[in-house]
Amino acid sequence: MDDFKNQKCLHKRYAYQIVLQTREMLRAMPSLVDITVSDGNHFTVCGDIHGQYFDLLNIFEINGLPSQENPYLFNGDFVDRGSFSLEVILTLFAFKCMCPSAIYLARGNHESKSMNKIYGFEGEVKSKLSETFVELFAEVFCCLPLAHVIKQQGLCCPWRSFSVDGVKLSQIREIDRFSCSHLRKHPLADLIVRSHEVKDEGYEIEHDGKLITVFSAPNYCDQMGNKGAFIRFKAPELKPDIVSFSAVPHPDVKPMAYANNFLRMFS
């Protein structure tokens, strides 16, 4: 993490080890992951990071590093747009390898090959590692779970992918995320935490508190001026405690620096 902070690259050998080990761990996980939080303990949910590595470090500074006693869920959209996406994803994957119960990762719409080709992650991976890693990351992203349930009381889903009401959690468990089919139905839960959209304060509460959007990339793309946020849940009540934070400085590498040339003209 310190090397990344100083804009140093990880040797390809170690990057391979991290990504391959993460792939094996994710392959063994179900599409819907159950998370139990023991009474007196807490659990933190973060939204989109979008390659803003220095803001990720700030989250860890505010809330502590991921550990068995301080677990996190990152709710999709780790990469693209921000120009430190590789540092973000390797850091999250490394924590997953070091302590699987310290960190949980859900798939967002930017964990896909087509989005990565346009919005910068593919170009960044080619520049910092090699083209071989592009295919490897695409494969690993397909292994990411789709959603998480915290102690059977709340459901965390990464993005708006639902259009039909009335579907049970058991039906999500049966989804084969490795096939071409896609999750299109809305499960029932006491509280749904989603991400995917910029919010001025880093979060938004809707539907009488039953739906919370959390977005963890402050001053998105260096121009939106929004705050970031994360949510802490403490058992047994699991009431959401929302923490907002502002952007921190980062090296002078513009967002979308590795993006498709056409998009970069307008960034």
Q: What value does the mean pLDDT take over residues 90-105?
A: 97
Q: What is the pTM of this model?
A: 0.88
pLDDT band at 188 (very low <50, low <70, confident <90, very high): very low
Could you give the domains of the chain? Answer: 2-247 (3.60.21.10)
Q: Which residues are annotated as catalytic?
A: 110
The yes-or-no verdict on residue 165 having pLDDT over 70 is no
Q: According to the model, what pLDDT value does residue 260 have?
A: 76
Write out pLDDT tens, residues 206-215.
999 989 999 9
pLDDT band at 7 (very low <50, low <70, confident <90, very high): very high
Residue 175 to residue 170: CA distance in whole angstroms: 9
Write out pLDDT tens, residues 237-255.
899 999 999 999 999 999 9
Q: For the chain, what percent of residues have pLDDT higher than 90?
A: 77
Q: Nearest CA to 73 among 143, 149, 166, 161?
A: 149
Q: Say if CB 151 and CB 235 are below 8 A apart.
A: yes
What 3-state DSSP class applies to 155? strand
Q: What value does the mean pLDDT take over residues 180-189?
A: 49
More confident residue, 93 or 174: 93
Residue 123 to residue 97: CA distance in whole angstroms: 25
pLDDT band at 161 (very low <50, low <70, confident <90, very high): very low
Q: How many CB atoms lie within 10 A of CB 196?
A: 20
Rg (CA), the chain: 17
Burial label, 7 (beta-carbon count in 10 A; 0-12, 13-18, 19+): exposed
Residue 86 to residue 121: CA distance in whole angstroms: 7
Q: According to the model, what pLDDT value does residue 174 have?
A: 63
The yes-or-no verdict on residue 265 having pLDDT over 80 is no
More confident residue, 165 or 114: 114
Token pair 């719409």 is at which residue? Answer: 109
The yes-or-no verdict on residue 160 having pLDDT over 70 is no
Backbone angles phi, psi at 220, to 5 degrees: -50, 130
What 3-state DSSP class applies to 89? helix
Look over the chain and give the mean of its residue pLDDT values, rounded to a whole number.
89
Q: According to the model, what pLDDT value does residue 190 have?
A: 81
Q: What value does the mean pLDDT take over residues 135-142?
A: 97
The yes-or-no verdict on residue 134 having pLDDT over 70 is yes
pLDDT band at 184 (very low <50, low <70, confident <90, very high): very low
